[in-house]
Amino acid sequence: MKSIAVNENLSISDQIEATDIERLAQEGIEAILCNRPDEEEADQPSFSDIAAAAEAKDVEAVYIPFKTGEMKPEHVAEMRRLQDSGKRLHAFCRSGNRSFCLYAAAQASRGLPKEQILQQAEKAGVAVEKIIESYYEDA
């Protein structure tokens, strides 16, 4: 698992394994968010296996799966709800890109300055300009 800290309440990574949950819990993560549909690849762990490992460590497990390019407004709303919970969150997908794009869309929907989001994205190595541009069209 290659993890990056986006801010004090959010980290993002590529695919995690059930065995990563203990380390995440020790790091203070209170909720995990899976943005990867089950069976996207044959060898990936199922969300139910990861959720069971999370439950055993008192970590909330949330499943908001979507394919690249198929993020919907309800996904963004659920991400905002998770952020508003105040819990330290770790989001993951195959590479981390989808999870970061969801975070960026949630931040853009809140009115965070576009340049601030783009700077965070650059540090993370993720292109989000097309994902967030609709939030700034009238600005």
Residues 60 and 2: their CA atoms lie apart, in Å, by: 21
The CATH number of residue 60's host domain is: 3.90.190.10
Report the share of the chain in percent with pLDDT over 70. 99
Number of domains in the chain: 1
Contact 51, 18 (CB under 8 A): no
Contact 79, 106 (CB under 8 A): yes
Residue 139: pLDDT band (50, 70, 90) is low
Contact 103, 6 (CB under 8 A): yes
Residue range(s) defining the domain that contains residue 70? 3-136
For residue 62, the model assigns a pLDDT of 98
- Residue-wise pLDDT for 43-95, tens only, equals 999 999 999 999 999 999 999 999 988 999 999 999 999 999 999 999 999 99
Its pTM stands at: 0.92
For residue 137, the model assigns a pLDDT of 80
For residue 124, the model assigns a pLDDT of 87
